[in-house]
Amino acid sequence: MYKYLPIAVFALTPLFGVAAETENDRWNLADLYVSADAWTADSVKLEGQLKDFAGCKGKLGESVRRFRACMDLEADILRRFERLTSYASQTHDQDTGANIGQDLSQKSDILASKVDEATSFVRPEVLALGRKKIDGFLKQDKALAIYRHPLDQILRAAPHTLDAKGEAIVAQFGLATNAGGDVYTMLSNADLPWPTVKLSDGTEVKLDQAAYTKYRAVGNRDDRKKVFDAFWGKWKEFERTFGVTFYEQLKKEAVYTKVRNYPDSLSRALDGNDIPPAVYNMLIDQTRANLPTLHRYFKLRAKLLGIGDLHYYDMYPPLLTSDLKYPVAEGKQLMLDAVKPLGPDYVAAMSDALQHRWMDVYPRPHKLSGAYMNGIAYDVHPYLLLNYNDDYESVSTLAHEWGHAMHSHLANHAQPFITADYPIFTAEIASTTNETLLLDHMLKIAKTDDERMLYLGSALENLRTTFFRQAMFADFEREVHAKVDKGESLTGEDLTKIYGDILRRYHGDKEGVVKIDDLYAMEWAYIPHFYNQFYVFQYATSISAGSMFAASILNGEAGARERYLNILRAGGSAYPYDLVKAAGVDLATPAPYQAVFARMNKIMDEIEAIQARKKS
């Protein structure tokens, strides 16, 4: 029942020395623990609580008093563990080369397994008590009301939960079933022998993942092709190995699907949050039906870049280069101005939070790349990791991550611990809504057409990567999981063929829109999210819902702001699909996706209008 997933990790290339870093630009982990020794002392308390919790085994149904005491103890265990894992992971992330962070992270992983094992009896015992007895306990003790939704999640999963012995065995296997993902992580980040290429200016570049992210966007087209060919050529050499690691992951999920008595892996993955499979399928159906909108963007990209035959290696150069700089102080103010439609209370809470050391702002050697928000330290505050580079993308990422932070802040203040944490399905709505509000604000204050083009181009690329690209990944996941669920084998070559066919369909290869070289179909092996099954689709559904919420708020629709903020305040107190639907957006229908396509076409209309003005 615990969770630690950094939310919304972006691959941003660190540019060291962007600004002179001060203490206020670093997060203050002392708010969690004043030292590693204090962390260790609290971990000892957790181990003691786990021993105490063993006394609850087999006794949950003795009395309502006993039941409540055990539920409260479990909640306190989980709250303490999430604070411990936050400190451990963030100590590691601020300096991935330091031994202290690695040591704490490993200790945290061990604690996670112990927590899983120690609490594994709860689900089967609650199920054995049955809904009637649980409802009776809830009526007898009103203080148990905070557990109503978590208990319903357990009771609803009755057909998929094992007996106490079975659940304990599954928990014990937790440390032994991540081989595929662990091998992938080690090979793709540390052990792959990265190729070296010489660019047109004579620069020799060792193409590790960070360098690939940087140099795939260079202006020289021949250099981009060199980068793509060398990088994906190296991955191709390990196609068989990556095929084995991913197939191992797929088999693991298929086995758990059978153990849990689900018809397929997709249903199992979605059932934890009671998300109808119709949402996933509607996303893919609508995306496939509206690929002409994506193809329109590719044609516009080719025109703006002055390219007649667009290739896959032409996806990353910016549509418009700009020397505009946005120091972090300015970025913060732009964000505060942008979120004013969410009301004075929201703005005041965000403004106050910005005065404290919740963020680690700038890139530096050995710091984790990308960006995320971690809001699970319930008794403290959210933490945000950024790699701020003073460009507009950094401002957009700032707004995105603070959308998450405000979600956690509002939920933690409105909900008890046990229902404060929320699933990714609603998490990305908070972030993408803030991004949409930022774009609206930036377009209103833009002084020139070139500045407007910068913001519009950024928004277009965000829609490509956050909606269409994630939907494409979801399409691939659905197909490969379905094959393994049916007992089919998959080699690395098979996976490349499946991914390549989907990649070409989405990019209009057959129609002559974007040429996809065979080698680049190795991209499936590069995507770490595939080791967290059926995860990425929620980026696409969230940007769809976020776009609708932002539009209704900006249009001043009666009650729109409160309906949206109520989703944030609700945290994890209800099923996420139901929360979003109650606020007016049904993600199992075409409407939210049609809104995304309409928004994307509107942005392209504006860009084309600007281009027409320039020519006249």
What the chain holds in terms of domains, given with CATH numbers, is 28-178 (1.20.140.70)
Res. 11 pLDDT band, cuts 50 70 90? very low
15 pLDDT higher than 50: no
Q: Are 380 and 31 in contact (CB under 8 A)?
A: yes
2 pLDDT higher than 60: no
Question: At a CB cut-off of 8 Å and minimum separation 6, what does 484 contact?
Answer: 247, 250, 251, 253, 254, 265, 490
- CA distances (Å), origin 447, targets 64, 115, 209, 451, 508: 65, 55, 37, 7, 36
Average pLDDT, the chain: 92
Q: Are 495 and 473 in contact (CB under 8 A)?
A: no
According to the model, what pLDDT value does residue 185 have? Answer: 79
Q: Are 184 and 174 in contact (CB under 8 A)?
A: no
Each residue's pLDDT tens digit, 293-345: 999 999 999 999 999 999 999 999 988 888 899 999 999 999 999 999 999 99
Each residue's pLDDT tens digit, 474-505: 999 999 999 999 999 999 999 999 999 999 99
User: Residue 95: phi, psi to the nearest 5?
Assistant: -155, 90
Q: Are 197 and 205 in contact (CB under 8 A)?
A: yes
CA angle 414, 534, 259 (to 5 degrees): 100
Give the residue-averaged pLDDT of 343-370: 95
Give the residue-averaged pLDDT of 529-553: 93
pTM: 0.88
Name the token pair of 574. 């209800």
Each residue's pLDDT tens digit, 133-159: 999 999 999 999 999 999 999 999 888
81 pLDDT higher than 80: yes
Pairing of strands 204-206, 196-198: antiparallel
Each residue's pLDDT tens digit, 174-212: 656 667 777 887 788 778 899 999 999 999 999 998 899
Burial class (CB in 10 A: 0-12, 13-18, 19+), 269: buried
114 pLDDT higher than 90: yes
Name the token pair of 303. 């025109």
According to the model, what pLDDT value does residue 563 have? Answer: 97
235 or 20: whose pLDDT is higher? 235
According to the model, what pLDDT value does residue 174 have? Answer: 64
Give the residue-averaged pLDDT of 456-467: 93
- Closest by Cα among 111, 82, 100 to 3: 82
User: Residue 385: phi, psi to the nearest 5?
Assistant: -105, 125
Q: Give the three-class secondary structure for 12.
A: coil
Q: At what angle do helices 424-445 and 328-338 cross, to 10 degrees?
A: 100
According to the model, what pLDDT value does residue 443 have? Answer: 94
Which residues are catalytically annotated? 401
Each residue's pLDDT tens digit, 402-436: 999 999 999 999 999 999 999 989 999 999 999 99
Res. 19 pLDDT band, cuts 50 70 90? low
Counting residues of the chain whose pLDDT is more than 70, the rounded percentage is: 96
Name the token pair of 169. 């065995």
Lowest mean pLDDT among 23-37, 152-166, 368-382: 152-166
Give the residue-averaged pLDDT of 448-460: 92
Which helix (H) or strand (E) is 204 found in, with range? strand 204-206
